[in-house]
Structure 1
């Protein structure tokens, strides 16, 4: 029995190399290829190489006790092939792990070529139906071909496949100046869960002028500006008229400021990202501005002058499934456990996160081939927390995510009261996560083999 891995980006090669290292035979499919001496590419890629980094060359922070560092530490302990290659091909980048793109891809290709259990097939896969494979791992990324996207839609249901990502910025709650904002619910209906940032007419005018003149993010040739009406970038909405925002996402009606007794000229509302209320998103503030411009303009909002942004706003093409409705904790389709999803199409964002889910899919697929029920990465680990998010988030409003401390289990309330320093709390979370990871990694193969047909 063989595993079919579809996709030669980051998650696919990682899944293939991981599964092969655990004794599984793998067919790795990649649609990019040389055809009559000419490269057949996707609209985003420039080469046919494995692991091509389309955007930046950074795999994020290597600073100890940060969330990206923690995720990479767990991956290193699990033997991630692509992370090992990234370490080998690293270039100076301060506190980040950045790689030489060409060397990174070349090393991946060499490792795949030297693995006798992997067979590379350069052709497009258009259907997930396959009698020749016991397991299929779909790792086709945000630019999954139209034909395969349609087949995924057929299998999962059209309502569970998204093609555009609309993301509002998220700020660290501790960086909000609470002296300048107030909690209120519109017309005092329900509980006062929203933070409201009030603007005077003068403050609004300055913000508006800065917003409509801000420099947009650069568009790739394969991206378009054909936005959905329901998720227009806030700068596009603003261009429809100076008061458009005041009748839309910045509407002040019903949000009386208890300190003045009056409604402000405009209001920016912040909504909790989680029950711990340690981060808030700017409601309706999806945008397509450069990150530096976002920071400059959004810090003009009263209360956000010193805001620390955990995530900036985005609108871009990004094919992904509604993982909370479709996947279990081992990345398998609930209705078809022979099919696993990994990488950006599974609902994660970022290079490291894509490699991480590819590694997990390879581990789980290899277990299934051997007749072993996969043991999901524990919730307390960074790996487990990332998968827990994509499989347990609100399916109705599901959006992809990077690894952040916001996804990890919080410390006990008593510890949080005693330890006020955030860096120390993060250190303790990392220490706990790595201990839980080590225990899982030691125990995961102790499950006895069973009848493979029962697992599949």
Structure 2
């Protein structure tokens, strides 16, 4: 049975490569460059439009656990990320261009994948297996078709993109290299501020002119990626306890901790551009240039990209999806990526991996076995398929989602790090047991 996958971002190529390596014939559809989106700049597979980070590699953190499980399952895109990694302290960050190139190379090398550069505007539940991974910028025509099948409106929120500065325009005399608490290698450029500089920057930020909201828009931001000006309006010191927190970033030149710090993270292997970490915003470009050049070291900064806002679309997953990412009403249609209700690059790849495994298993005549709730992957899927609150919001992987320890164990072990280690150990053990069976549905195995 052929498998149709819609979307060439992160989840779609991951699902395509996984399913093809499990023996499926795959038709992969991507509408770019025939039809572009407001946020993408290329038609490349796996283009990262926001940050270039796939989050923490620190052992026994929730993002680490998710990636650990994915590596055990031979995630194709995570392998591409590892091969295109750039220095980022204790995080996994990638060279955007190289990451996309490696994904394209992997797809081209897979004889079972056929790529179609065209927009899909209609869905037929009777037309074989389909994985919808068209992402948060799903076209309006396909969005309407999904709404028709799901019997309701999409939910949506607005996501933000951080600015990127050219490295040769950074005044190196006013900045220093360091990682917080000296954890990992000193890969971040740090722009220190004293109180006077911070106050001036803050006042300029909260009074800056934003891009005008269109009549049809309702700017409902994702709490985990709020524009910096929205955060600043919550109080003068909010940024100093958030993206500009100075703790653990002592200036080696003075031996003192600054009042506030702006961190810049490397964008590519050439180190010719840096991302302003946490500085996503919805300000007019002229205002961004004026205000961001108030940051010490960025007085003459040249920006290769300014911050911006884009609309994210996702489904009401708890109402629509089963634990195997299939539609309850139409089991032949699966969802993956941010469209399914997860937030984040790693999470999108993770759901693409699972959708690819489940769809390939079904296509080969097997029964898809849900990943256990105890695992990091299972905890993420459990959230999007079992949330019971009034409003379903997308989620990143956090320890709040992972199956908690028994009350007796929690009382016995007070140290949070030790509890997290136990949870991770249990998760990996559960994952290994599931993977032993899931990787061999029938008489084939993932290579």
Matched, 1:71 2:59: no
Q: What does 1:272-351 align with in structure 2 at a 5 Å threshold? A: 288-290=227-229, 293=232, 297=236, 299=238, 317-351=311-345
Q: 1:145 to 1:229 in 2, by over 3 A?
A: closer
Distance 1:83 1:125 in 2: 27
Task: Tell me by how many angstroms 1:77 deviates.
Answer: 0.3
Task: Tell me by how many angstroms 1:443 deviates.
Answer: 2.4
Distance 1:361 1:339 in 2: 10
Q: What does 1:175-186 align with in structure 2 at a 5 Å threshold? A: none
Match of 1:29 in 2: 29
Q: Normalising by structure 1, what TM-score?
A: 0.68
Distance 1:423 1:366 in 2: 37
Question: Any stretches of 5+ residues in structure 1 without a counterpart?
Answer: 168-209, 234-280, 450-456
Match of 2:20 in 1: 20
Match of 2:46 in 1: 51
Match of 1:397 in 2: 391
Number of residue equivalences = 343
Kept in 2, the 8 Å contact 1:92–1:98? The answer is yes
Larger mean Cα displacement after TM superposition, 435-444 or 223-232? 223-232
Distance 2:231 2:31 in 1: 36
Match of 2:373 in 1: 379
Match of 1:432 in 2: 426
Distance 1:217 1:431 in 2: 48
Distance 1:442 1:218 in 2: 55
Match of 2:79 in 1: 84
Matched, 1:126 2:135: no
Query: After superposition, what is the alpha-carbon deviation per residue over 1:304-349, rounded to whole angstroms, capped at 9, x for unaligned?
Result: xx9x9xx999996210000000000000000000000000000000
Task: Tell me by how many angstroms 1:286 deviates.
Answer: 10
Q: Secondary structure at the match of 1:27?
A: strand
Task: Tell me by how many angstroms 1:149 deviates.
Answer: 0.3
Distance 1:392 1:121 in 2: 34
2:139 to 125, 140, 145: 145
Distance 1:120 1:375 in 2: 28
Task: Tell me by how many angstroms 1:43 deviates.
Answer: 1.3
Task: Tell me by how many angstroms 1:394 deviates.
Answer: 2.3
Distance 2:207 2:400 in 1: 28
Distance 1:78 1:378 in 2: 14
Matched, 1:114 2:109: yes
2:56 to 53, 56, 61: 61
Task: Tell me by how many angstroms 1:300 deviates.
Answer: 9.9
Match of 2:213 in 1: 225
Task: Tell me by how many angstroms 1:218 deviates.
Answer: 11
Question: Any stretches of 5+ residues in structure 2 without a counterpart?
Answer: 161-200, 248-277, 282-308
Bigger radius of gyration: 1
Task: Tell me by how many angstroms 1:157 deviates.
Answer: 1.5
Matched, 1:4 2:4: yes
Q: Normalising by structure 2, what TM-score?
A: 0.69
Kept in 1, the 8 Å contact 2:231–2:238? The answer is no
Q: 1:229 to 1:77 in 2, by over 3 A?
A: closer
Match of 2:155 in 1: 162
Match of 1:357 in 2: 351
Distance 1:85 1:232 in 2: 33
Kept in 2, the 8 Å contact 1:294–1:312? The answer is no
Match of 2:290 in 1: none
Matched, 1:95 2:90: yes
Q: Secondary structure at the match of 1:423?
A: helix
Task: Tell me by how many angstroms 1:164 deviates.
Answer: 2.5
Task: Tell me by how many angstroms 1:155 deviates.
Answer: 0.6
Kept in 1, the 8 Å contact 2:158–2:219? The answer is no
Task: Tell me by how many angstroms 1:61 deviates.
Answer: 0.4
Distance 1:436 1:93 in 2: 30
CA RMSD in angstroms comes to 3.5
Task: Tell me by how many angstroms 1:373 deviates.
Answer: 1.2
Q: 1:76 to 1:26 in 2, by over 3 A?
A: same
Query: After superposition, what is the alpha-carbon deviation per residue over 1:46-69, rounded to whole angstroms, capped at 9, x for unaligned?
Result: 111100010111000001010000
